[in-house]
Structure 1
Amino acid sequence: MNKPFISLCPEITRANALTLMDWLEDEAVTRYLRDSRHVSRSIEQAIGRIQLPILTHLFNQGGRFFMAYDRHDVPVGFVRLVKKGPDCEMVLVIGNRDNWGRKLGASAIREGMKLAFFDMRAEKLIAKIHPDNARSLNAFLRSGFLLESETPAMKSFAINSERYLRLLRESPAAHTSVIYITEIDKARLRSLIELEQGSDIFELEHEIERAVVVDPRQVAEDVVTMNSKALLEVGNEEVQVALVYPEDADGGVEKLSVCSGIGTAILGYKEGDAFDWRSPNRTCHIRIRKVLYQPEAAGDFHL
């Protein structure tokens, strides 16, 4: 699978901090990064002062910091999101220059947008970019950002939540497959999201918003809808699951909550679809081998 893939992880380890320091010693990486020397000194001081394996709290001072991982679970950069009132500002770095040109930056931007609008509830997302940073300028423009203001030293781009949602529905990202959801499932899941308190519920909301909505009587019989049963290939393992609402889940894969990582992941995909999805500790490659049962195909519209 050659499509670009990035996942953003909020946990920052001591090893991550050392990697960040290496990146920030490369002038090509820091050339357009504001306050890079200050950031590098702060990281070095934190590592020397605090002997802990997890340093997340230090990196989240004044904003939220995420390490960007590729599909092989290798850190390739970072994203920082700083909420200022209703708006949010994004800082993005792909740290190893060997990864430049692989469209990982655009993928990281999409993941950052998802967090900003669905998790942090920003009304507008802003990116301030040096005019000579052509690679970043192009990545943000391709992601739907519009030029808002400029000076000789800085261009400010922005995208508001309304435009983001419209592009999410009308212009799906090239690296993602189209997914489908029935009108009934969408209504039920939206009600669920209003009540659910899980930390990753924004992932489900994102999937619902980007899905193509179809009539329950017209959905293709090989699509994973709510209460469907499917045979999956997760990594090198085959598992049979039923996709259910949280109150019907059993804590295992036999009845898999739609609010769980893999449960959210498979909603709306069809037989033969394959994709990468970040679970809490690793990236999984998932393939929908077969839809064994679908309520709509069986005429069980009450489920």
Structure 2
Amino acid sequence: MDKPFISLCPEITRANAFTLMDWLEDEGVTQYLSDSSNVSRFIAQAIGRVQLPILTHLFNQGGRFFMAYDRHDVPVGFVRLVKKGTECEMVLVIGNRDNWGRKLGASAIREGLKLAFFDMRAEKLIAKIHPDNARSLKAFLRSGFVLESETPAMKSFVMHSERYLRLLRESPAADTTDIYITELDKARLRSLVEQEQGATIFELEHEIERAIVVDPRQVAEDVVTMNSKALLQVDDAELEVALVYPEEADDRAGKLSVCSDIGTAILGYKEGDAFSWRIPNRTCHIRIAKVLYQPEAAGHFHL
């Protein structure tokens, strides 16, 4: 589980605000951030004016602001997404120099792409980068962005939704784990996504779109498909669960909805896979210890 990992959290706490101010006092961090002085002044004013533990509503004025956390739930940067019409602009900062070079920027970009296209429904994502900002240029180019325009002071890179979906399916990032889904499960889950509502349903849609689609009769027997039963290691706990559709969910019986946090997380992974996944308020570490039952392997193709 040593792959770069970033989760983007929409809740901004008072402690986060002080951390942001520390980052913005580092000229190495802010030298390519065009509005760093304005941001720093805004944060200072917010801390002084509002005596609340949660400041999310202040940071979301004019856009959506996310703290970037690593797998140990340590804040390492932030992402801001500003949508105007069908276009969205991303601003990304990795705030502590000790984290530079760990490919956390590329991981944060991937999470920003997911939010922009699946949650915010943008058709085009823009990143404006200073020509001397070599780290950012490299990270956005490796993530599939293409140069749209440039001036001596700024390079503008774009990602269109069509290109993003194609790359998601055909050229997955080297530090992500492949997941698998059967043709039948994909059709059913797509219909579910269209009907389901919820703040995190876009995570399921993303997993469906990035999955490698296989024939139900050819899926490996150690893959977690719909209605499979599996033994999980979630942090220090061992759980036996069944992955089911929402109408069959029963937490007390270990039947996890595919729309739940852990349910979405385990879809398509295979026995032995280990990965990190963000759930409300923290990151959990999951390992598929054993697939106890898979309907396809048992010949139960009607499930």
Q: Following superposition of structure 1 onto structure 2, how do residues 104-183 of structure 1 map, counting pairs within 5 Å?
A: 104-183=104-183
Q: Between Structure 1 and Structure 2, how many residues are aligned? A: 303
Going from structure 1 to structure 2, the CA distance change for 1:253 and 1:169 (only over 3 Å counts) comes to farther
**How large is the RMSD of aligned CA atoms in angstroms?**
0.7
Structure 1 position 173, deviation (Å): 1.2
The whole-number CA distance in structure 1 between the counterparts of 2:37 and 2:253 is 48
Q: Which residue of 2 aligns with 1:41?
A: 41
| C-alpha separation in 2, matches of 1:253 and 1:150 | 57
3-state DSSP of counterpart to 1:174: coil
Q: What's the TM-score once normalised by structure 1's chain length?
A: 0.99
- Cα distance change of structure 1 residues 250 and 23 upon mapping to structure 2, 3 Å threshold: same
Alignment of 1:12 with 2:12, yes or no, is yes
d(CA) in 2 for partners of 1:295 and 1:11? 39
Once the two structures are TM-superposed, the CA of residue 172 in structure 1 deviates from its matched residue by: 1.0
State which drifts further: 248-257 or 186-195: 248-257
Q: Aligned partner of 2:93: which letter?
A: V
Residue pairs, 1:239-258, within 5 angstroms: 239-252=239-252, 254-258=254-258
Q: CA deviation at 1:186?
A: 0.2
SS at match of 1:178: coil
Is 1:101 the equivalent of 2:101? Answer: yes
Deviation at 1:251, TM superposition (A): 3.4
The answer on whether the counterparts of 1:5 and 1:175 sit within 8 Å (CA) in structure 2 is no
SS at match of 2:105: helix
1:68 alignment partner in structure 2 = 68
How far did residue 252 of structure 1 move?
4.3
Q: How far 1:253 sits from its partner (Å)?
A: 6.4
Which of structure 1's runs of 4+ aligned residues deviate more than 4 A? none
Instruction: State the distance in 2 between where 1:64 and 1:205 align.
Output: 20
> Is 1:2 matched with 2:5?
no
Instruction: Tell me the alpha carbon deviations over residues 20-70 of structure 1, each in whole angstroms, 9 at most, x when there is no partner.
Output: 000000000000001101110000000000000000000000000000000
Within 5 Å, which residues of 2 pair with 1:199-278? 199-252=199-252, 254-278=254-278
The one-letter amino acid of 2:154's match is: M
Give, in angstroms, the shift of residue 15 of structure 1.
Answer: 0.2
Relative to structure 1, the CA distance from residue 253 to residue 136 in structure 2 (aligned partners, 3 Å threshold; closer, same or farther) is farther
Aligned equivalents of 2:105, 2:177: Cα separation in 1: 19
> Which amino acid in 1 is paired with 2:300?
D
Deviation string for 1:52-98 (max 9, x for gaps)?
00000000000000000000000000000000110100000000011
Q: Does 1:194 align with 2:201?
A: no
Partner SS for 1:238: strand
Residues 231-278 of structure 1, C-alpha deviations (whole Å, 9 max, x = no match) = 000011110000000010013461000001110000000100111111
User: In 1, Cα distance between the equivalents of 2:190 and 2:2?
Assistant: 33
Residues 81 and 116 in structure 1, CA contact (< 8 A), matched pair in contact too: yes
Worse overlay, 145-154 or 172-181? 172-181
Alignment gaps of 5+ in structure 2: none
In structure 2, the CA distance between the partners of 1:256 and 1:82, relative to structure 1 (3 Å rule), is same
The answer for unaligned runs of 5 or more in structure 1 is none
Equivalence for 1:279: 279
| 1:243 counterpart SS class | strand
Q: What is the TM-score with the length of structure 2 in the denominator?
A: 0.99
